[in-house]
Amino acid sequence: MQEPRAPSSRPRRGKRGNGKRRQDDDESQGPRPNAKSPRSSTRDRPSQNRRNDNMGQPSTSSTPNPPQDVSSVASKAALSIPVPMDTPTFAELAKDNLINSVLLQTIAEDLKFNHMTPVQAATIRPLLEDRCDVLAQAKTGTGKTVAFLLPAIQKMISKRESPKGHVSLLVISPTRELAMQIADEARSLLQRLKQFKICIAIGGTNKNAEEKRILAGCDILIGTPGRLYDHLSGEDGQVASKLQSLETLVLDEADRLLDMGFLDSLKKIMRYLPDKTAKKRQGMLFSATVPGHVEKVAQLVLSKDYKSISTIAEGELNTHERVPQQLIVVPTFSDMAAGLLGALRQELAAAGPDAFKVIIFAPTARLVDFYTEILQVIQNLPPVVALHARMTQSKRSKITDEFRQGQSCILIATDVIARGMDFPSVTNVFQVGIPADKESYVHRLGRTARAGAEGRGTFIITSHETFFSKWILKNIVFEETVPDLSSHREVLQIAERLDPDTHAKAYQGWLGFYKSYLKPMGWDNARLVAEANEFALKGLGAAEVPALQKSTVGKMGLKGVRGLVIGPDAPKQGRGGGGAGGNRGPNGGNAQGSQQNRRRG
């Protein structure tokens, strides 16, 4: 068993970010952060058991589904995750006349739910029985959506006080994808009660069409703050009038709502809702963390005597508060690989060669491959392997088994594969480039310092990405470290010898990832392409700017941007669209095609 590491002897200089919160509308596709620290609960804390929130049943509402991206479609796939058998059953609610018999039939017969998840067991009965307002601390993937939908729907169908066609339940979500997932689950619960209509109000859809559906009759309205405010603030006041008999208000992922800068939008929305004291409505806040600013918004949304319920075990979320974390800011993306190697060498020297077990997270699978090919050539490093979704399952299993058993080794991975995997004795976690949101950052960091062991985190970003450390991670104390870029020439010489296909794929992956962060970085498409081209030549070691297929450029929304090199689309493979293959690479071919067949011409 590995000895715990001694505290680092290097001096620490605490640094908190002080950037401004983002006040963009909710349709931004940039980072989606969570907040930081758990709050003590006044109730027992059930053990955490993960269960999918997305039930993905066919729609029973007359509301058409808005256009969906790949992530939202994939989220509908129902997962079968074990639920503990010692929690209460949904049938017990019916015995106490707390749940409608048709609703119970749907849950038991259609959705095949018997026992509640711990989150549902802790929240549903108080919400149904006491009709109290609740601030619930619950992580995603724990069944929390059913926990707030079921009591609200029960209220709607059993003691309907709202006039016909008026909104009974309003759910506010931080993102459009989550709003659509919640709507899917509401449709699943109401599949035998088709008289109730569900509407969505999110960006990326036709606002006028949304308004027509809401005015035609809407029982459940689910939306993002920006679009909801747009509807409520309409000059004719028609949508606002439909919420004057609101019975239930839910803020889902409240910490993310606030971290994304939506407090002002929430306050404005509240002005259009009936006074909570005059119209006794039930309020629910669900949040993965409960820092001070979530408690403040609870005062805005909930009654004074609300109940606080935590379903997260003590200490489960505080890895980022107890693990030392250093922040390394390199000048440009071309310096990233050298900065990573310099940091690795420093940490290896401090830890020793016999107990240096590292996970490095990179933004895309192709950047994972690039960093892996670089580090595998460097002498005096532990063995280096890659892990991402483009690998076959057998290869992934082999790599994970070897890394799990290893004592000193380096695994470079993406979030998609690393999530949910538990690797023992990981001493260091490196994050190279920004993650999707704060939740991802904390989850990655949580791969180290497990089971009482110590660990260390290193966050390496460019000067263009400091918005993330300054305001998304503003409550995290970093040890600022000057980057060691002494290996830049060494790294570039290795990169120049790599297969041009590696350059091309990494270039395309980089463009696709950072296209989503133009607004927080203050870039436009022209700046994005210019930075990508510089990265290709000075960072990836490409002899020339890699070509992109015309169709790829169109999908990225970069048509007509100067600086791009456009190549011909690859001939179709003749085996149908979609699937795991397809023309993903810069020059076509499936994701696992041999590199020599995918060189630029």
Q: Would you say residue 78 has pLDDT above 60?
A: no
Q: In whole angstroms, what is the distance from residue 79 CA to residue 381 CA?
A: 39
Spelled out in words, what is the top-level CATH class assigned to the domain 82-310? Answer: alpha beta
Lowest model confidence (mean pLDDT) among 59-73, 227-241, 381-395, 476-490: 59-73
Helix (H, G, I), strand (E, B) or coil at 344: helix
Six-digit token string for 321:
């508060």
Residue 319: DSSP 8-state = H
Q: Which residues does 33 contact at the CB level (< 8 Å), separation at least 6?
A: 256, 259, 260, 437, 438, 439, 472, 473
Residue 486: DSSP 8-state = T
Q: In whole angstroms, what is the distance from residue 309 CA to residue 130 CA?
A: 14
- Write a three-state SS string for 41-76: CCCCCCCCCCECCCCCCCCCCCCCCCCCCHHHHHCC
Helix axes 144-158, 176-189, angle to 10 degrees: 50
> What kind and span of H or E run contains 220?
strand 220-223
Q: Would you say residue 544 has pLDDT above 90?
A: yes
- Per-residue pLDDT tens for 148-171? 999 999 999 986 666 778 999 999
pLDDT at residue 222, as a whole number: 98
Q: Which residues does 333 contact at the CB level (< 8 Å), separation at least 6?
A: 462, 464, 510, 531, 534, 535, 539
pLDDT band at 394, cuts 50/70/90? confident
Spatial contact of 87 and 223, defined as CB atoms under 8 Å apart: no
What are the angstrom distances between the C-alpha of 290 and each of 40, 262, 428, 547? 9, 16, 27, 47
Q: Do the two domains 82-310 and 318-490 of this chain adopt the same fold? A: yes
- Write a three-state SS string for 356-388: CEEEEECCCHHHHHHHHHHHCCCCCCCCEEEEC
Helix (H, G, I), strand (E, B) or coil at 340: helix
Helix (H, G, I), strand (E, B) or coil at 482: coil
Q: In whole angstroms, what is the distance from residue 576 CA to residue 220 CA?
A: 39
pLDDT band at 319, cuts 50/70/90? low
pLDDT at residue 25, as a whole number: 38
pLDDT at residue 185, as a whole number: 95
- Per-residue pLDDT tens for 502-518? 999 999 999 999 999 99
Q: Would you say residue 6 has pLDDT above 60?
A: no
pLDDT at residue 153, as a whole number: 96
Q: In this predicted model, which residue has the larger pLDDT, 545 or 280?
A: 545
Q: In whole angstroms, what is the distance from residue 246 CA to residue 543 CA?
A: 62
pLDDT band at 141, cuts 50/70/90? low
pLDDT at residue 162, as a whole number: 62
What are the angstrom distances between the C-alpha of 193 and each of 72, 98, 148, 249? 25, 17, 18, 21
Spatial contact of 40 and 290, defined as CB atoms under 8 Å apart: no
pLDDT band at 266, cuts 50/70/90? very high
Q: What is the mean pLDDT of the chain?
A: 80
Stretch 412-440: mean pLDDT, rounded?
82
Q: In whole angstroms, what is the distance from residue 327 CA to residue 502 CA?
A: 28
Six-digit token string for 454:
């110590």
Six-digit token string for 219:
């029982």
Domain ranges of the chain: 82-310, 318-490, 500-515+524-598
Spatial contact of 216 and 138, defined as CB atoms under 8 Å apart: no
Q: In whole angstroms, what is the distance from residue 14 CA to residue 34 CA?
A: 21
pLDDT band at 576, cuts 50/70/90? very low
pLDDT at residue 34, as a whole number: 36
Q: What is the CATH number of domain 318-490?
A: 3.40.50.300
Q: In whole angstroms, what is the distance from residue 30 CA to residue 28 CA?
A: 5
| CB atoms near residue 481 (< 10 Å) | 20
Percent of the chain with pLDDT over 90: 56
pLDDT at residue 44, as a whole number: 34
pLDDT at residue 511, as a whole number: 97
pLDDT at residue 53, as a whole number: 38
Q: Would you say residue 364 has pLDDT above 80?
A: yes
Stretch 28-38: mean pLDDT, rounded?
35
Lowest model confidence (mean pLDDT) among 20-34, 120-134, 377-391: 20-34
